[in-house]
Amino acid sequence: MYKRIVVPLDGSDLARHALTDAAEIARLSHAPIHLVRVIDLTQLDRYGLYGFGGGGAAFQSLVDEEVEAAAADLEKIATDLRNQGLMVTTEVRRGGVVFELQQVAQPDDLYVIASHGRGGISRWFLGSVAEELVRRSVVPILIVRVLTPNAAATAGNGVAAVHA
């Protein structure tokens, strides 16, 4: 069975949809959950094009602030899961999201990740961390598809398993 359930989170409500399935799998397999958040400094929307104009010290301060916020968010989620009797660890990494998630993978891990399940043009333009991770992963991935209310009426259960 799985030795660890890895749940990549990005701070969004969408990503948190993976937690229910991850918790259930962890209960059934007696595996710990490892929550991971990757801070991609090239994708920090709140700083914008001119956000780094304050020099090295200002940049480092912004990075530290982002890492601290991510760690606090993960710890809050971890506490909720621990209160359910689950073993949970957390990790904040810096770098490219898919690359860093690949580095986290250990033998016998299972990744549980939420996805919009976009298709067609929107996937082409927006890309997808889940899709890229599936292409590059060396461990199995369970994708929890988050459906809008209209899409849920016409779709199945919204869960897709992918084995690397």
Higher pLDDT pick, 149 / 64: 64
Residue 50 phi/psi, 5° resolution? -100, 5
Q: What is the pLDDT of residue 46?
A: 52
* Predicted model pTM: 0.80
CATH number at residue 9: 3.40.50.620
pLDDT tens digits, 59-110: 677 888 899 999 999 999 999 999 999 999 999 999 999 999 999 999 999 9
- With a CB cutoff of 8 Å and minimum separation 6, the contacts of 97 are 8, 10, 38, 40, 43, 129
Q: Which amino acid is at 13?
A: D
Domains of the chain: total = 1
Which residues constitute the domain of residue 68?
4-162
pLDDT of the residue at 161: 53
pLDDT band at 125 (very low <50, low <70, confident <90, very high): very low
